[in-house]
Structure 1
Amino acid sequence: MIQTNPPRRAARILLALTAMAALVSVDAPDARATAPLGVTAEALPDATADRVGALFAGGLDGGHFCTAAVVRSAGRDVIATAAHCLDHPATTVFAPGYRDGKAPYGVWRLAEVSVSPDWTDGEDPDDDVAFATLAPLDGVRVEDVVGGFPVAAGQPDDVTVTVLGYPSERDAPLRCANSTSLLSDTQRRIECPDLSGGTSGSPWLVDGALAGVLGGYEGGGTVAEVSYSAVLGEEARELYRTAADAP
């Protein structure tokens, strides 16, 4: 049964992370683009791409409609995506590293969802970010399989970001890096071509750490050449702390 913003269960097996600093450190796989800035290309399989996956309706035959990424957590079971991607969490599943019709790391069911009340009440684009915990698969936690990105809020206005996401019509992720700018105090903008429908929820990575997700203003953008992300503010960080069991 899906619950929204419930108290988190204690992690059953693994050692809990002892401080938020451990969760937001940046010793993650190198997420630098393999193409020049502003150029979109297929993301080659690697440790970074394996942590990113497609969200499907029911199963692999249900079609993928959004993107999500595994982030670090005490329970080793949390993904980040756009809030507008989780309208139907009970039937949504996550396939990390999905490629060519196959889910090499399994298909994971959502267990709990954390979204802002401001998104629930009015779909405020500044709160278009969400975290969800995944049920174990055969007794294993998703982060033990593919690892997870640390979370790093508070980035400079013009920071260079790498975006990885799954357009709905493709069966492999795309990757693009470019410098960003602020559309407003609460919305970040990037110019990358071909990030069309299905890339909502894609992680925005800075030095291998998640600094946003594709979404927010205009649902993430109405043209494939320009995308947006809500700036991760205190409310988003609190959602993450709740989902991740972080202090």
Structure 2
Amino acid sequence: MSPVVKGASAAAAAGIAALCAVVFLKASGDQSVHPFPTVGVLMANGEHWCTASVVDSPRGNVVATAAHCVAPAGEDGHPGEVAHDGLAIGELSFAPAFSGEGAGTQPLGVWKVRSIHVDDRWTKWGDETADFAFLTIEPDGDGRSLQQRVGAGEAPKPDWTSGYERDVTVIGYPESEHNPQNKPVSCTTQTRHDANDPDMLYISCAGFWTGTSGSPWIADRGGTGQPGRLIGVLSGGDTDVDSTAALYDEKAKALFEKAARG
């Protein structure tokens, strides 16, 4: 069974009974806080499209997200023509720590995507085990890297050899229909093999509606100075409660290294 992708324009199934498990991150006075400043909204033509996150890299210029957020799925060895929802993807940018109603605020700026790096298994065959992508991000007007802006010690390092059973924290931005103030939702739980596709990771956590595609799955996250290890990103799920991710592998590592050189 193919999972329902959770990009901003996909149709999400309801998981109302489990909504009480949603943890929206906020401070006293209902002001948003950002314990995960590396996570934000991937925008297409200025609109919330997916979720993305900074991953530790030598130049501080790499963001991780899902492949279906940035490239159409291929079929039978041929590239796809449109995104998963039949729409054009548009010009991409990244707003870490995004929050607020409507257009919201971008406390750490909006960063231009320079280049997109996606596995051929996705762009030619639509292989769900390759539904991950790495984006090279332009420096800002002052020459600073994205990683410098969000905090040099905040970004998780990628893990290319993870097993399937890990304690992870997953952070994403649901679409405004379910999240009008654009607050990130967070869940800490254990991963396992997906029953429908054992090659995919699976978690059960409510609140990961449409818009959370690309949400980072971070293992071994601790306190200050312990940002953890990124083992994959959210790629799909049949409801807001059920989410899947492709486990990073050596081909993901090759894409990351290409992005980091960009």
The AA in structure 1 aligned to 2:118 is: V
Shift of 1:109: 1.0
Whether the aligned pair in 2 keeps the contact of 1:162 and 1:176 (CA below 8 Å) is yes
1:236 corresponds to 2:252 = yes
User: In the alignment, is residue 212 of structure 1 matched against residue 232 of structure 2?
Assistant: yes
Q: Deviations over 1:62-107 (max 9, x none)?
A: 3x12000001112211100000001367601110000111000101
Q: Give me the CA root mean square deviation.
A: 1.9
TM-aligned CA deviation for residue 222 of structure 1: 2.3
Counterpart of 1:17 in structure 2 is none
Give, as a single letter, the amino acid of the residue that structure 1 aligns with 2:189. N
> Within 5 A, what are the aligned runs for 1:36-55?
39-44=21-26, 45-46=33-34, 48-55=35-42
Asked if the contact 1:165–1:203 (Cα under 8 Å) also holds between the matched residues in 2, the reply is yes
TM (norm. structure 1) is 0.76
**Distance in structure 1 (CA, Å) of the matches to 2:49 and 2:59:** 26
Q: Select which of 54, 57, 63 maps to 2:44.
A: 57
Deviation string 1:142-168 (CA, Å, 9 cap, x unpaired) is 011013221123223221111000001
1:243 partner SS: helix
Report runs of 4+ in structure 1 exceeding 6 Å deviation: none
The whole-number CA distance in structure 2 between the counterparts of 1:90 and 1:79 is: 17
Counterpart-to-counterpart distance in 1, 2:99 and 2:118: 28
Judging by fraction of residues, say which structure has more helix.
1
The number of residues matched between the two structures is 201
Quote how far apart the aligned CAs of 1:239 are: 1.0
User: Does the Cα contact within 8 Å between 1:166 and 1:174 map onto a contact in 2?
Assistant: yes
SS in 1 for 2:214: coil
SS in 2 for 1:239: helix
Distance 2:192 2:252 in 1: 20
Residues 22-55 of structure 1: per-residue CA shift (max 9 Å, x gap): xxxxxxxxxxxxxxxx933013424x41100001
Give the drift of 1:56. 1.3
Which of 117, 128, 135 is the aligned partner of 2:131? Answer: 128
* TM-score for the superposition, normalised by structure 2: 0.72
In the TM superposition, what is the alpha-carbon distance from 1:234 to its structure 2 partner? 1.3
| Gap regions ≥5 residues in structure 2 | 1-19, 27-32, 72-87, 221-227
Which of 212, 217, 222 in structure 1 is aligned with 2:238? 222
Match of 1:80, SS state, is strand
8 Å CA contact 1:89, 1:113 repeated in 2: no
Aligned to 1:193: 206
